[in-house]
Amino acid sequence: MKLLLVEDDAVLRDGLTLSLQQAGYAVDSTASGIDANHILSMQDCDLLILDLGLQGRDGLEVLGKFRSHNKSTPVLIITARDSVTDRVSGLDLGADDYLTKPFDLAEFEARVRALLRRSLGAPGNQLSVGNLRLDLNGRRAYLGGAPLELSARELGVLEALMLRAGQVVNKDQLADRITTLDGEIGANAIEVYVHRLRKKLERSSISIRTIRGLGYLLEK
């Protein structure tokens, strides 16, 4: 899953970015509302985490512009503005949830998980294909009840395939799930991650089939 964090406090931004990366998410971050608009115009994300008091452009302006082009991606506002008027303005412009600073990290992580579950349409807290299960809360995969040791990028590729189980997913779609602004993920790298996943799924009924010229298909 790819997240964009827009927060002008460098210490908080770095701390939240690290926490999200450790949970297995691909995270881009910026302190600027102007940069946020540019990033959002260039690439998709699965969740926008947005401060209101930003450099260059107010967070409500960013939210309004984003919602004018994107109606479905969830938005979590994190802000020191705690007035009812600010909360109502943010929700009316299309925010899905609102967290007032200072907040507990565990609550922040829970809000992120809840918004992503809702956007994925996943029942409960997990995805399942045969005896393969992905815990969306713990960001862990299990095969027949035993944990699978996966890197963050392997987990991202597996998640993208499980979300579209029985459908072909191309390399660009897989790369988009795990690529951040810090580095591009090429087609060769995707092939490596898929190869590693296949090795780890060898003892199961789950397979990742290559559909030549189109992409990959997860099936049981």
CA angle 89–94–100, rounded 5-degree value: 55
Q: Which domains does the chain have, with CATH numbers?
A: 2-120 (3.40.50.2300), 126-219 (1.10.10.10)
Say what the pTM is.
Answer: 0.71
DSSP states along 138-170: TTEEEETTEEE---HHHHHHHHHHHHTTTSEE-
The predicted pLDDT at position 201 comes to: 92
The predicted pLDDT at position 181 comes to: 60
Q: Is it the case that residue 124 has pLDDT exceeding 70? A: no
The predicted pLDDT at position 200 comes to: 92
